[in-house]
Structure 1
Amino acid sequence: MSRLSVRAFTISADGYGAGPDQSLKEPLGVGGEALHGWLFPTRTFRQLSGKDGETGIDDDFAARSFENVGAWIMGRNMFGPVRGPWPDESWKGWWGDNPPYHVPVFVLTHHARAPITMEGGTTFHFVTDGIESALAQAKAAAAGKDVRIGGGTATVHQYLRARLIDEMHLAVSPVLLGRGENFFAGIDLPALGYACTERVSTPAATHLMVRKQA
């Protein structure tokens, strides 16, 4: 059965999922890149660019984040820095001609745009009629595999409030950002029916599994 999951979503020790002032120069916000210090050295991440990397617990969680994923959902801000109506068709994401997804990706937006087919099996579809429609399309495309929410924080919040997320892997990085997008602001996870069911710590991160309870 297809699950909706959040995987390898990194937050700072003070709860921020991205730094402030996101821009073309700072796609993760000011200081946001430091959040992912646990991920960048892993073999799973470095293999995306044809390099070798570290194994161990952090790599195990990174590898698990790609298992059995048949489609992705992401917010407009994660796709790129362009705001408002699309000025042209030139922006095709942060990731170059061959994005790391290799499956259909559904982008939440208020502004229609034709699908973009990239190398490696990634096609970006732009959904203008809400989170339920995006999820239905993603599950159909996933054909029984899981749907992964890539982010950002606001997109995860929408699906959490609707109790549509089955599980989340949160990697808590020992970094303080002070400002940005706070992952827990306005979200009462116990009241929404979620509980922390697993915790594993490494020097680089504390890995939390949060699952919806029956």
Structure 2
Amino acid sequence: MATRIHNFSISLDGFGSGEPQSFETPFGHAGQRLHAWMMATRMWDPVHGSAGMDDAFAQQHDPGIGAEIMGAHKFGPPGWQDDPDWRGWWGEEPPFRTPVFVLTHHAREPLAVGATTFHFLTATPQEALRLATEAAGGQDVRIGGGATVVRDFVAAGLVDHIHLVQVPIVLGRGTQLWDGLEGLEASYDVEVTASPSGVTHLVFSRKPSVTS
């Protein structure tokens, strides 16, 4: 079993989202610019999307995943905790179809939406990963974001595989991924692949001698 991050997009200056986040602007002033590369792939749009390098990376998002951990801001806009009717951004059939553990300061009862059950936790990264690993049934756990959650799990040494996509835009402000991760490269083998679309795929694989 492994802990993995896939298709996590960042700007050239290291921001995983813009600001301010709201119901109308889930990624703040970044809009959809961080994710336009993925929305153009066959994985996202089987009819009109393109195959090729970006699609090959994007397709690795789901296979072998038995549970996901995400932050409160990925589940909903600021204030969703006070709305008992909020069921996430994804409608009545979220794409996860696995247990999803939402890290929040406002724990609540589990919520089943379609084939996905959301569990709301007030927990450390280590505690959340233990619960997600148990729920994953021998498969891998995906750290789904946002940037703060990704940063916290990486800083805690809990992530085995990291796939980042550097998008050629400068946001200037938002949620920074790299804060506190100085020297990260010492623990990972790093592969960099430039795509014709203009994005750069960075894959960090934990070195065999490094354990969490």
Both proteins in one fold, TM over 0.5: yes
For residues 161-206 of structure 1, the C-alpha deviation after alignment (integer angstroms, 9 at most, x for no partner) is 2101111000011111111112112211437x43342111113310
Q: 2:122 & 2:14 partners in 1: Cα distance?
A: 29
Equivalence for 1:197: 190
**1:189 touches 1:195 (CA, 8 Å); kept in 2?**
no
Superposition deviation, residue 117 in structure 1 = 0.6
Amino acid at match of 2:88: G
Instruction: State the SS of the aligned residue for 1:39.
Output: helix
Gaps of 5+ in 2: none
Q: 1:100 aligns with which of 78, 90, 95?
A: 95
Q: 2:172 aligns with which of 178, 182, 205?
A: 178
Superposition deviation, residue 158 in structure 1 = 1.2
Gaps of 5+ in 1: none
Q: Is 1:35 the equivalent of 2:31?
A: no
Equivalence for 2:10: 11
Q: Is 1:133 the equivalent of 2:127?
A: yes
**2:7 touches 2:58 (CA, 8 Å); kept in 1?**
yes
Q: 2:189 & 2:42 partners in 1: Cα distance?
A: 27
**1:80 touches 1:94 (CA, 8 Å); kept in 2?**
yes
Amino acid at match of 1:203: P
Amino acid at match of 1:9: F
Equivalence for 2:25: 26
Q: Is 1:210 the equivalent of 2:209?
A: no
Q: 2:187 & 2:74 partners in 1: Cα distance?
A: 25
TM-score scaled by structure 2?
A: 0.92
Q: Is 1:70 the equivalent of 2:63?
A: no
Equivalence for 1:87: 82
Superposition deviation, residue 131 in structure 1 = 1.8
Q: 1:21 & 1:207 partners in 2: Cα distance?
A: 26
Superposition deviation, residue 14 in structure 1 = 1.5
For residues 130-158 of structure 1, the C-alpha deviation after alignment (integer angstroms, 9 at most, x for no partner) is 22221111111111111001101111111
**2:22 touches 2:78 (CA, 8 Å); kept in 1?**
no
Percent identity of equivalent pairs: 42
Instruction: State the SS of the aligned residue for 1:44.
Output: coil
Amino acid at match of 2:177: F
For these two proteins, the number of residue pairs brought into alignment is: 207
Instruction: State the SS of the aligned residue for 1:133.
Output: helix
Amino acid at match of 2:5: V
Tell me which stretches of 4 or more aligned residues in structure 1 moved more than 2 Å: 193-197
C-alpha RMSD of the superposition: 1.6
**2:125 touches 2:156 (CA, 8 Å); kept in 1?**
no
Equivalence for 1:151: 145
